[in-house]
Amino acid sequence: MNTTPKAPPGEKRRDRALYARLVESYHADRVGIFVDFDRLNTPRSPLWNAWENVAPLLLVFLASLGLMFFVNLILGTAVMVLGVFFYLFIVRPWIAQRVYRRAIAAATENLHNWNLLWKLGGLVLTLNFMNKTRCVSPDGDWRAFVTRYLPEMEVEGVEAYHAFNRLGRGEEADDGKGAKGGKDKDEPRLQDLHM
């Protein structure tokens, strides 16, 4: 028996509308989404890739050990020291770039991924025209941030917003049929991060 309380349908619709407003604002470059690399590059994060983090260190270690045993101890030690600097200044920024790209792609893909990354505490929202205005996860409320700072869309949904814009441009209004085609009810809401 499942005893977890389900969210009211209006709340899910409101969250989807707020999320759509957030993603639209991100693509319009009104909002910046920043990634906390240290929080999202851990084994408990769905964005973490073990080979990305372990393979470079393993290669440096094995190469330096091989040189220590088969060539020269001093040369192997020097390769290990240089390998550490190579990892810190080249490999680690490369990993951070890849985690950032995966996090942004996953966060803007669907609401489930956004909520999952928000709960991990790996995202920060900022207004591009006011850098000091920010919302930091997991303690910040992204819904309140979007409602307060991105008020141009109606909270009830994206469809009402687009219909209003079409009327403002002089286009004919939709008759209300087939805007979504009923797909929203049939699609599964839970989606895994496949990166």
Overall average pLDDT of the 156-167 stretch: 54
- pLDDT of amino acid 178: 45
Alpha helices in the chain (DSSP H): 9-27, 37-40, 50-70, 73-86, 92-107, 111-120, 142-149, 158-168, 183-186
- pLDDT of amino acid 182: 44
How far apart CA 103 and CA 41 sit, in angstroms, is: 10
How far apart CA 92 and CA 184 sit, in angstroms, is: 40
- pLDDT of amino acid 180: 45
Closest to 105 (Cα-Cα) out of 117, 91, 120, 94 = 117
35-63 residue pLDDT tens: 988 888 888 888 888 898 899 899 999 99
Residues in CB range of 67: below 8 A, 6 or more apart: 75, 76, 79
**Pair of tokens at residue 55:** 């393979």
Q: For the chain, which residues make up each domain, given as ranges? A: 24-149
104-147 residue pLDDT tens: 999 988 889 898 999 988 889 988 887 778 888 888 889 888 88
Give the side-chain half-sphere CA count within 13 A for 62.
6
Overall average pLDDT of the 56-75 stretch: 90
Total residue length of the chain:
195
How far apart CA 152 and CA 145 sit, in angstroms, is: 13
